[in-house]
Amino acid sequence: MSTTDAAPPFLYRPPTEPWLVVLHEDDEILVLSKQSGLLSVAGKPAEHADCIESRAKAEYPQARIVHRLDRETSGVIVMAMNAKSHRHLGLQFERRKIGKKYIARVWGAVTQDRGVVDLPLTCDWPNRPKQMVDVESGRAALTEWEVLEREQGATRLSLSPRTGRSHQLRVHMLTIGHPIVGDSFYATGAAFTSADRLQLHAESLTLHHPSDGKLTTFTDPCPF
């Protein structure tokens, strides 16, 4: 990344309007819409205390975080409302029983209509928190993708990760030559500067409801 298109130094200014968007709530789960720019959980510095977990707990003290979305990623996130549901949901994530669908705008023209990226990932320690492909010692990571729309200079994709590795979608798209637009870690030049946020949104989450095991889908319309 050149000096002209490098990301500015990180200054945490999370969005405050709306403060908390509740998509669904019941005795077992709390489903929220996380905004781009808001941390899922608090960071170590005091100025990084504001996050969707703390906002949720202010209104729902019993709510417990189950999974995370990257700060720059928006979309559906679920929290557990009691210890039993927390275990139930945690096992679903661990055993890959959760269905996740993301919308992404990637740089360039994707020629195929659909495909699969099956490349293991590991932390790029000298450049953490960045991740990288490591076919020898990386952890298995698989992403299915499908073209939704071809735009001028970009392609809108539906992404279905079958694993939940850190930065998985961002690195997998970079690896096939199409970084996600607005990605401050992996995009360069116009691919980075042509959007004011990471163009990645967790559109839907499908899970077995802890109360009865019924398969339930929660959706949050893509904002870009």
User: What sign has the CA pseudo-torsion 105, 106, 109, 114?
Assistant: negative
Active site (annotated) includes residue 70: yes
pLDDT band at 9 (very low <50, low <70, confident <90, very high): low
pLDDT at 10: 77
Tokens of 119: 């490349």
63: Cα separation from own chain's centroid: 20
Give me the catalytic one of 70, 183, 212, 220.
70
Listed residue (16, 32, 80, 58) closest to 219, CA to CA:
32
List beta partners, residue 150.
Answer: 155
Q: How far apart are CA 134 and CA 108, in angstroms?
A: 25
Q: How far apart are CA 180 and CA 108, in angstroms?
A: 10
Q: How far apart are CA 191 and CA 179, in angstroms?
A: 7
Percent of the chain topping pLDDT 70: 96
pTM score, whole prediction: 0.94
pLDDT tens by residue, 193-216: 999 999 999 999 999 999 999 999
Contact 76, 68 (CB under 8 A): no
User: Which H or E run contains 84?
Assistant: helix 83-94
pLDDT tens by residue, 140-156: 999 999 999 999 999 99
